[in-house]
Amino acid sequence: MPEAGSDWTAGEVDLIVADYFDMLALELRGETFVKARRNAALQDLTGRSRGSIEFKHQNISAVLLRLGMPWIAGYKPMANFQGALITGIERWLTAHPALFANPRAEAPATGFAEATPLFFEAPPVPSFEPVPPPLQRIVRKFDPALRDARNRALGRRGEERIFHHEQAALRDAGRADLARKVRWVSEEDGDGAGYDIRSFDPAGRERLIEVKTTVGTGTTPFFLSENERGFAEERPDAFRLARLYDFARTPRAFELAPPLDRCVMLRPASWRAAF
């Protein structure tokens, strides 16, 4: 039996990390499982207490939060985790990259054409909390912003959701005439405009919407191109950034308006070299 309060061994960490990701995969597929039974099985394997195992599950959720991944409902992220846990999660993701790369990117197939408008929440407040170096390293290795940017299917589904949301919102406001004029610019004309959707508010003013979609949480970082940033400065009256998140389950949303550097912490991500 391990001494109470002692650090978990690498073998114990691997057991609980594998168990956590197995439960997460079941949850994302909509399959049921009994947490108490899984916990009891881990108690038998590790000799750890029920509370210690639950706390470790919450620690794993805290790492997944930083990685822009869904976590198991009921295991609220709890920090103060040992470095060995980060290493264990890194080992698991390296051996099983699919769940990080594409955790059910398809939103529930309910027919977006008939979808009701999304409820837009208040955006999160930027956090200046320092990130421990071991966590910085795993986030650099498994970059959620890069993952989402490469997932073109995810991006397209998010744009489609916002396109139909804008139409539905205008119809609900009694402006079916404007709803018919909403255009999915990136789909019809291709990328390059600096925004994805051309819509309107009920008064007829333009809304030029850039959509950013993630399977992660509302605080998952995202990439903003120089073209998009420049367009936001050029048309602050009309530009809006729609952030869709938790897209692996039920999409949630918030909206950002220029100046964007007052809403998010903008950092250069790449450099253009020219002769």
What pLDDT sits at residue 108? 47
Angle, in degrees to the nearest 10, between helices 50-66 and 133-141 = 60
pLDDT per residue as tens digits for the range 173-224: 999 999 999 999 999 998 889 999 999 999 999 999 999 999 999 999 999 9
Asked whether the beta carbons of 243 and 256 are under 8 A apart, the reply is yes
What pLDDT sits at residue 107? 46
pLDDT per residue as tens digits for the range 228-242: 999 999 999 999 999
From the list 166, 236, 237, the residue with the least C-alpha distance to 196 is 166
Question: Any idea what DSSP says for residue 119?
Answer: P
Strands 197-200 and 206-213: antiparallel
What pLDDT sits at residue 268? 83
What pLDDT sits at residue 5? 62
Stretches where the chain sits below pLDDT 70 are 1-5, 104-116, 128
Residue 198, SS3 per DSSP: strand
